[in-house]
DNA sequence: CTGGATAATCTCGGCTATCAAGATACTCGG
DNA sequence: CCGAGTATCTTGATAGCCGAGATTATCCAG
């Protein structure tokens, strides 16, 4: 996080790292603040976005997969979906093929909220990007794609790790 | 979030936006997973990082300012600091000038944990950056700096908004 | 010294997450 | 068709975190 900056290159690496970290922290706080503003909690917002994401890709998410994405237990996911459904943000549908499964779809209220979340953010993002040439955006794109993939690998590694001193003996 | 991609430029903008969003989500999940792994919760980890950050910049943070950063009430901050202190991650010091104030310093245990958090991440980050030339990193740096600043502005705007009466006169 | 403001802590209630057990539906062998 | 085994989701009980308001200690103005 704080490293020596002997050369210009090292300085750049250090500052970019710091900016990425701050960006992540700030993004989290945006989510927190926005959720509070609308009577949700951060988990609910994350879930709502995940539901929209999956559905817009044509592959509605199930409670099980949602729990994997958010790292929640199955019981917590049920409670989470109950809250979101009660608030009118999403709705449950049984899968017609495998009726054990529940497919989650966003409702109008949820879509409106997600739009409200992304639009102002997108506007700011576009404003910044307008100050960059297409060739520059190519570089940024390559960078972000690789960085994003790298972070996902890191996340999976951390998740795969097991606690050093478990509360309960292995059993 | 999902926009048309008529031109190459619009495609780039769309994909970069998606990557930024995914990066933020994944970063949050890394924090979540890492915190779980070490018996903390995400807030604790955020606080620990904030404490280190402030102290390394030579300006130790107080509970009050920590609460502002994390958007927590004063009572929650006290409980948070109690947990971190009990776990040996940080310690309290009274300010000698204004003895109402408490200054937070990280303890060895906290520093070790933060290192454990950032080192593997930094290694991956460096690997990615090694694949970019110095001129390319200049572009990325400019981009991230502006994007980071823009997001901070957005965060403050969302925080400034009020839940029930968004257009409340004064106070 | 008195009164008001600021900083942190304490106490209590609500809400969320985890864990364990249960209910329903699918799969497969006989 | 029938039953055992498995997968998916839900329910109920418990623990821990967060927010709001009251309380204590300190600073500052006069």
CB-CB contact of A85 with A27 (8 Å): no
Please report whether residue B169 resides in a domain: no
The answer on B141 and B87 residing in a single domain is: yes
Residue B149: closest C-alpha in chain A: A23
**CA of A147 and C1' of C19: distance in angstroms?**
36
Is A112 an 8 Å CB contact of chain B?
A: no
Q: Domain total for chain B? A: 2
Model confidence band, residue A169 (pLDDT cutoffs 50, 70, 90): very low
Give the 3-state DSSP-derived string for A3-23, with helices as H, strands as E and coil as C.
CCCCCHHHHHHHHHHHHHHHH
**CA of A72 and C1' of D13: distance in angstroms?**
18
Measured from the CB, is B60 under 7 Å from any atom of strand C?
Answer: no
B128-147 pLDDT tens trace: 999 999 999 999 999 999 99
* Partner residue opposite B24 with nearest CB, options A24, A129, A134: A24
Confidence at residue A2, expressed as pLDDT on a 0 to 100 scale:
59
Confidence at residue A160, expressed as pLDDT on a 0 to 100 scale:
87
The answer on B24 and B61 residing in a single domain is: no
Confidence at residue A171, expressed as pLDDT on a 0 to 100 scale:
28
Segment A106-119 shows an average pLDDT of 93
* Partner residue opposite A17 with nearest CB, options B23, B125, B145: B125
Please report whether residue A169 resides in a domain: no
Please report whether residue A55 resides in a domain: yes
Measuring from the CA of residue B43 to each C1', which nucleotide is nearest?
Answer: D17
Q: How far is CA A26 from CA A5, A22, A109, A150, in A?
A: 25, 6, 26, 20
**Is residue A27 pLDDT above 60, yes or no?**
yes
B70-110 pLDDT tens trace: 999 999 999 999 999 999 999 999 999 999 999 999 999 99
β-partners of residue B106 are: B90
The answer on B131 and B58 residing in a single domain is: yes
CA distance linking residue A139 with residue A136, whole number of Å: 5
Please report whether residue A100 resides in a domain: yes
Identify the domain containing residue A59 by its residue range: 15-159
Segment B35-63 shows an average pLDDT of 93
């Amino acid at each position: 996080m704080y490293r020596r900056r002997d050369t210009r290159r090292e300085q750049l690496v250090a500052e970019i790292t710091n900016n990425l970290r701050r960006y992540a922290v700030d993004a989290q706080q945006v989510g927190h603040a926005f959720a509070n503003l609308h009577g949700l909690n951060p988990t609910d917002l994350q879930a709502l976005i995940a539901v929209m994401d999956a559905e817009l890709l044509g592959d509605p998410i199930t409670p099980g997969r949602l729990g994997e994405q958010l790292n929640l237990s199955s019981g917590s996911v049920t409670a989470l979906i109950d809250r979101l459904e009660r608030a009118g943000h999403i709705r449950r549908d049984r899968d017609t093929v495998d009726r054990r499964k529940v497919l989650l779809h966003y409702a109008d209220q949820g879509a409106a909220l997600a739009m409200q979340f992304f639009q102002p953010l997108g506007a700011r993002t576009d404003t910044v990007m307008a100050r960059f040439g297409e060739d520059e955006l190519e570089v940024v794109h390559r960078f972000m794609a690789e960085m994003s993939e790298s972070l996902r690998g890191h996340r999976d590694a951390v998740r795969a790790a097991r606690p050093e001193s478990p509360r309960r003996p292995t059993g």
